Chains A and B, each alone.
Chain A
Amino acid sequence: MGTLKDILSPFSVWKQVLKEPVTIKDPLNRAGSDRYRGFHQNEIDRCIGCGTCEAICENEAIDMVGVASIASKDGDSGLRPMVDYGRCCWCALCVDVCTTGSLKLSNVYTWVDTDPDNFRFIPGIDKKPWDNAEKGYVKPDNYELYPLERVSMDHLHPEERDHSFIEIMKGYSDEEALIEADRCVSCGICTATCPAHMGIPEYIKAIRNKDVEEGLRIMYETNPLPEICGRICTHKCETVCSLGHRGDPISIRWLKRYIADQVPESAYADVLRQDSVEQNDKKIAIIGAGPAGLSAAYYLRQLGYQVKIYEKLQAAGGMMRYGIPEYRLPYDQIDKDVNYILSQGVDIQYNVEVGKDISFSDLHKQYNAVYVATGLHQGRSTRIPGTDHKSVYQAIELLRKITNNEEIEVAEKIVVIGGGNVAMDITRSLARMQKEKYGKVQIIATSLEAEGKMPADLEEIVEAREENATINPGWGPREILIENDKIKGLKVVKCLDVFDAEGRFNPSFDESEEAFFEADMVVESIGQGADLGFIAPEFMEQLEKDHRGRIMVDPLTYQSTLPWLFVGGDIIEGPDVIHGVANGHKAAKGIDLFLNK
């Protein structure tokens, strides 16, 4: 083994001696690679403080802290991540999970300090030398820690649905609901935006745990109308959903519906059973069995009050039943929610109109408190020439008649004025009837707001178009042309902007651009107003009102200036189911507070 080669060949090391050293000349200023996971950067304006980074951090390195310069608002918690470099391990899972994509890691990696307490900072707020570093780790394309696409719900196709009032959305199957619920990152940003502040992450978690009954219990804490809200809620929560920043928001509404659908009506009593509440003999009258009234009734019963609802129409549900077409919200689902509430011992009297059948002052005398939640049932008119024609209808009236199965006029060509959800409802309802009657759809819906700015839900517009209705937004109605006592059509001019520079409603038009929509019938759907005529004038005088004549109430208790009178629902909040539910709940608490003072 001791060959000469073994002795001589090691000396070959010397050939390296004259070569240039391979040392990095200036290591102190050497940049990390383009993808290097260095120190944190946060685009503070894009960040919404959802705390997902905190949730995924396995080292508890991230704290969500309030920042003076950032206020909490819908969709932004006002918190910002503070990173503790005494914990961080630079795995960048926080970057990958960031819902907005605001969090990044720069390729700067040098931080030397003598004080260990310094290694804590809020990226983007506390100025650091690497704030402007351009390179570094960002979440790679094509890779997500959670799916960004929502699970589409099985629904009737346009050709199946355009002639019937069968419910379009079929609801999630178990697997679909699980997959959709799994997408949720449980940040809880939605809870604040939901008027009822429902425990959304919690009930979604219940779905993940395959415990729909727990989910139902969570929902009933804040919302006694889950079947209804699960279908037609305006889901403001979804607009702020943190996942919506880079992908589709969670289908919170459909998941709510899934939970409610999964529990049969017969099981409600068992699932929601609570320890018997102490009953008291204080009596409360509720006027109107809409969402606000029903919600108030439910929670007042939970507090042990004796509740009676006075409803003008034949069935409970208010606008949910009489304003929303059946294909969106089947009546049996309304009944499911309503029946459960009534089963709690709520007394209800139908076909009673306060002010006519029973006087308002009687209510005041008989009951300890009165809750007025009559809603907005009076359609507003555009008051353009021709609106007094008999073939010009209010959408809200037509919808009520459709619900009541009354005969209504369905012309061959219809124009609907309005771009809100009610307009879409009537458009689509009439389209179905046209399809049934004439075999084809000739309905035009037009609105002031331009495409993309219409107040109606996008899916409503899309679906209406799928059902062959024409949506032609961006026009201001000028005149309904009438020839021979027959409507010829609607003359419109281009609407440039609905609001003026200060954001007030003050549409501006381009009179030069005109259009004409042929029609035999015109439906107006530009909003509804309240009819508070039933409140006796002596009380009405005592109520404080704002400059537009709306009753002023305490925003927390919905107590009016008459201490025993509480007012809520659409009258206060404008048309919205979930707001109604929410302030029904608040009013119940307010009444409780008032009566227990």
Chain B
Amino acid sequence: MSKKEFFPMDGDRTKYPEIKSDGTADIDLSSHKYIKLWHGPNHPGITGNMAVELTLCGDEVVEGITHVGYLHRGFEKLMERRKYIQNFPLVCRIAVPEPDYNEYNYATCIENLTGIDVPEKGMWLRTLTLEMARLQGFLMWIGGMAGAIGFGTVGQWANYCRDLVLDRFEELTGGRIYHIYILPGGVRNDIPEGFKDRMEKNLREIEGFMKDIRRAFFDNYVFKKRSVGVGYIDPAWVFDYGIVGPNARAAGFKHDIRKNYPYAKYAELDFEITTAKDSDIYTRAFLRFEELLKDIDLIRQILDKMPEKGDHISKVSNMMNLKIPAGETYVRSECTRGEYGYYLVADGSEYPRRVNVRGPSYTHGVALLEKMLVNVNIADVAQLMVSLHTYPPEIER
């Protein structure tokens, strides 16, 4: 039996207006059969500041339309009028939970186009921050997932664990949320004395909590009731909807950029791609939990393998006058939500001609979410959004 047939409320679409090829349906609101309900933007169950315009029939969603733009600041425009180096404080604001991926991708774009080298240790430190970013991203996500279905206890623990990682970030980079640590040529600062021990201590504590979360959250009758079979992603949609990251891996698509397109120092690390079958909310949650545990292991590996000595950044030309010859490049990396990509076009001046950010939520949060919302119980909307791990600023930038 496939999970698809396992929908708890296997909604009969024939009752409702048919969804046309463009994803919309003609709904006659004046028939009083349906009500409109805005899920957001002022809503505790929404991921970030966005909105989903739901049309309900009873408890069931007939149509969901994603509304974004509440966080639009026009990054791609602003970057065009700032010098390359000046954009580093800007890019990290695109994705608040994991700014490091923006920094990494943008720095790598510049390095690709200018040929700046990154020293060995700088690369290791980059890998370390990227993995730490993944770890804290997943921790926050677990907190959000638990919160979305009303399990505050686990949310509290997970957010505490995330704060531990943030403390280490603060120590390493000097910033709590926005690190601005990765710069062209390496990273900004060397690893502080005794960092490894403190990190290890934190990792132990996090592991302790993870054991409890495993027991309390993933072996939980109610959570399983709520999530198994809900929010199913058909493997056939993976390419149609540009599904990446854990959402795609949970559908059995063995694709992890860290492994398939090794960047930074991932080629030297020992890990396997986590995959699962039948991407429903529970599977996705559990897959993310497994990845989180692997991240803990990876951080340990990185700290072990990192050379003690060495430059953290290479000598660069004057960053204030950096000009990049005409050219374009695309750089991708694997953040917690999947493929994070930067497309940079340079035109030979001191300013980028265009930077385009491809956040994984762009496809997850609009086309896919709108598809998946149909026939979902209104109670599941919040957890469905969290389980897709959408993050609105990536969509509108």
Contacts and interface: CB of A to CB of B under 8 A. Distances in A.
- Would A and B touch once assembled, by the CB under 8 A criterion? yes
A12 B173 contact: no
Contacts of A33: 167, 170-171, 174
Interface string A229-270: 000000000000000000000000000000000000000000
B174 A6 contact: no
Interface residues of B, number: 49
Nearest to B86: A58
A143 B313 contact: yes
Interface in B8-52: none
A144 interface: yes
Interface in A18-41: 22, 32-37
B317 A179 contact: yes
B253 to A, nearest CB: 25
B88 to A, nearest CB: 7
Interface stretch (A86-94, A403-411, A490-498): A86-94
A112 B165 CA distance: 27
Given A143-B312, A145-B320, A93 B171 contact: no
Most chain A beta-carbon contacts within 10 A, residue among B173, B220, B221: B221
Contacts of B320: 52, 55-56, 97, 145-146, 185-186
B209 to A, nearest CB: 9
B219 A89 contact: no
Given A2-B221, A9-B215, A35-B192, A208 B180 contact: no
Most chain B beta-carbon contacts within 10 A, residue among A5, A137, A142: A142
Interface string B160-204: 100000010011111110101000001011101000000000000
A56 B178 contact: no
A562 B212 CA distance: 97
A394 B72 CA distance: 77
B153 interface: yes
Contact of B221 (A7, A52, A91): A7
Contacts of A10: 215-217, 219-222
A13 to B, nearest CB: 5
A5 B311 contact: no
Contact of B316 (A52, A137, A140, A145): A145
B86 A35 contact: no
Contacts of B85: 56, 93, 145
A57 to B, nearest CB: 8
Binding site of A, secondary structure by majority: helix, strand, loop or mixed?
Answer: loop
A359 B49 CA distance: 89
B89 interface: yes
B136 to A, nearest CB: 16
Given A144-B315, A146-B320, A137 B174 contact: yes
B228 interface: yes
A143 B189 contact: yes
A58 B318 CA distance: 16
Contacts of A105: 174
B358 interface: no
Contacts of A52: 320
Nearest to A105: B174
A596 B117 CA distance: 61
Contacts of A184: 318, 321
Given A185-B318, A185-B320, A91 B180 contact: yes
Nearest to A137: B174
Contacts of B178: 89-91
Most chain A beta-carbon contacts within 10 A, residue among B82, B174, B316, B317: B174
Contacts of B247: none
A95 to B, nearest CB: 10
A150 to B, nearest CB: 12
A91 B90 CA distance: 9
A450 B188 CA distance: 43
Given A93-B85, A182-B318, A35 B180 contact: no
A35 B221 contact: no
A16 interface: yes
Nearest to B186: A143
A183 interface: yes
Given A34-B171, A35-B173, A93-B85, A6 B219 contact: yes
Interface in A98-146: 105, 137, 140-146
B336 interface: no
A68 interface: no
A386 interface: no
B319 interface: yes
Contacts of B316: 144-147
A36 B174 contact: yes
Contacts of B189: 35, 140, 143
A5 B83 CA distance: 58
A89 B175 CA distance: 11
A241 to B, nearest CB: 14
A1 interface: yes
A560 to B, nearest CB: 46
B142 to A, nearest CB: 14
Interface string B74-89: 0000000011011111
Interface string B297-331: 00000000000000111011111110100000000
Contacts of B354: none
A55 B323 CA distance: 16
A51 to B, nearest CB: 12
Contacts of B371: none
B294 interface: no
A58 B180 CA distance: 13
B224 interface: yes
A145 B160 CA distance: 36
A34 B315 contact: no
A110 to B, nearest CB: 13
A58 B317 contact: no
Interface string A181-197: 01111100000000000
A185 B311 CA distance: 24
A34 B193 CA distance: 11
A277 B173 CA distance: 60
A9 B175 contact: no
Most chain A beta-carbon contacts within 10 A, residue among B160, B167, B315: B315
Contacts of B153: 13
A92 B179 CA distance: 10
Contacts of B175: 36-37, 90
A390 B283 CA distance: 104
A339 to B, nearest CB: 35
Given A9-B216, A10-B216, A13-B153, A91 B88 contact: yes
Interface in A550-585: none
Contacts of B312: 140, 142-143
Contacts of A1: 221, 224-225, 228
Given A1-B228, A37-B175, A145 B318 contact: yes
A146 B216 contact: no
Interface of B: 82-83, 85-90, 153-154, 157, 160, 167, 170-176, 178, 180, 186, 188-190, 192, 212, 215-217, 219-222, 224-225, 228, 311-313, 315-321, 323
Q: Which 3 A-B pairs have the closest CB atoms?
A: A58-B86, A91-B89, A146-B318
